[in-house]
Amino acid sequence: MRLRRLRSTLRDRKGATAAVFAASAVTVFGLVALSVEGGHWYFAKRNQTSAVDMGALAGANARYWSGLSNPSATAENEGRTVARQTVEANGFVHGATSYGGATEVEINIPPKSGPNAGNSYAVEAIVRQRLPTFIAGLFTGHSEVLVRSRAVAASMIIGPACVLSLHGTLTFTGSSTAATPGCVMGSNANIRVQGMGTTVNTAGLYAHGTCDGCTQSNVTASYVGSGQPPLPDPLSRSVQGAPYPTSCPGGSTGQSAKSINDAIQNHFKNSTQPFRFGSTTGQTYICGSGGGPNSTLQLTASQVVDLRPGTYYFVGTDLTINSSNAALICSQCVPGGAGVTLVFTSDGNRNPGVLTLNGGTMQLNAPGSGAYEDLLIYRGPDVNPCSGSNANCPPRTLINGSNSTNLIGNIYAPTGQITMSGNSNNALMCTILVAHTITFTGNTDMARDCERIGIEPQKVRVVRLLEAS
């Protein structure tokens, strides 16, 4: 009897299910609790990551742009402030509690660790939070868990800027080739590559506005960026304090454009040798006569003018070279040493003159020192700025040179436009353009050898996220 009762008890499974369920429920509820807590940690981590990424990027951008006009210490303080404010704006305030845990925010310039440690252009943003554990603490034995996110961003040099359109569109049009493989071409407005007939080969295309056609197959660029911060004018300081006459001096110092034209004509009636021109004092004034033909210094067929090193002030005067075998040279100039600067100034009534090189040759280099160091051509500000959409608004400097043309130095026209229709691919080349508006319509090779010559174009930096964890 007792044996039958024992067997009956062993066969009876009533209550076993409850025991199994009780044991399983503990596991299931534990896993659910862990998943809820894990999701909370993941949510905090994701928001931390977003905050430190944006903080590092904003701080690096502020540090770079502040550094253009302030000492490094001031720029770094600006970067730290902006980075911290950006992290706070995204919900993480140092010393406060968010997501249930105390928050620590750390901003470092330069970063304290990692591959960018010591880089003064880099900004490190770190957020730490110690979040409480509940069910997870029963398994881990800890009452809190550390959730940490880190990001490093920095402004990186993408290359020197050899072309900068300060206010207007940088345009590539026609059947042209613009080759600047060692430097960046930028615009504080838009960049437009029109059609497939144009070939652009450059280290980068940098636009404050849009960059239209910049990803076409006829464009080769290591960097293409739109919506970027505007680039500062790299040459505005170089002309501050430099001589800028708005009237011609009396006596023999100032010569009218007409008298110089007559002297050139008379010279080539009896000689085939270049016409030597320029004051031995280093400053030559070419004076206009209120506009018209008498306000243009013009070289025509077979006329070769050899300038002496120095500065040439075209006061209310244009310079035109309209013949394929006419040339303006400087035989005594040496890149990095003796050179010339052509300065087009206003006479107080009309705007500064313009240079028109249409098929002729110019072989000139800027001086390596002095008031106009590294500046080859400077067209001063307009006194009567034009408005409208005609081809010569802003007033246009046309450079359509022969295969022998070589211009070494900066060409600066802050209120004018420059149209490049061609120059040479000589062995030594460093042409830098900074103007209100710039257009390329012909084959142009430029800025390959600036470092060899000693001319330093503005470096272009872009802010990039370098580290994230």
Most confident of 38-47, 363-372, 392-401: 363-372
Q: In this model, does residue 12 exceed pLDDT 70?
A: no
Contact 285, 248 (CB under 8 A): yes
Distances (CA, A) of 409 to 136, 305, 395: 69, 20, 21
Question: At CB < 8 A and 24+ separation, what contacts does 6-12 make?
Answer: none
Mean pLDDT of 370-388: 87
pLDDT tens for each residue of 417-469: 999 886 565 556 789 999 999 999 888 877 678 888 888 888 888 899 999 98
Mean pLDDT of 265-286: 93
Q: What is the CA radius of gyration of the chain?
A: 34
State the pLDDT at residue 444: 81
350 versus 54: which is more confidently predicted?
Answer: 54
Mean pLDDT of 149-164: 93
404 versus 165: which is more confidently predicted?
Answer: 165
pLDDT tens for each residue of 390-411: 667 788 899 887 778 889 999 9
Mean pLDDT of 142-159: 87
**Residue 66 is inside which H or E element, if any?**
helix 16-67
Distances (CA, A) of 138 to 26, 34, 102, 164: 12, 10, 21, 64
Mean pLDDT of all residues belonging to the chain: 86
Q: What SS3 state is found at 264?
A: helix
State the pLDDT at residue 344: 95
Q: Which residue has the tokens 């304290």?
A: 112
Q: In this model, does residue 29 exceed pLDDT 60?
A: no
Instruction: Give the relative orientation of helices 16-67 and 72-89 as an angle to the nearest 10 degrees.
Output: 150
Reference 231, options 289, 279, 166, 181; nearest CA is: 166
Q: In this model, does residue 258 exceed pLDDT 60?
A: yes
Residue 137: pLDDT band (50, 70, 90) is low
State the pLDDT at residue 358: 87
Where in the chain are the domains? 2-142, 159-468
pLDDT tens for each residue of 217-234: 999 999 999 999 899 999
315 versus 97: which is more confidently predicted?
Answer: 315
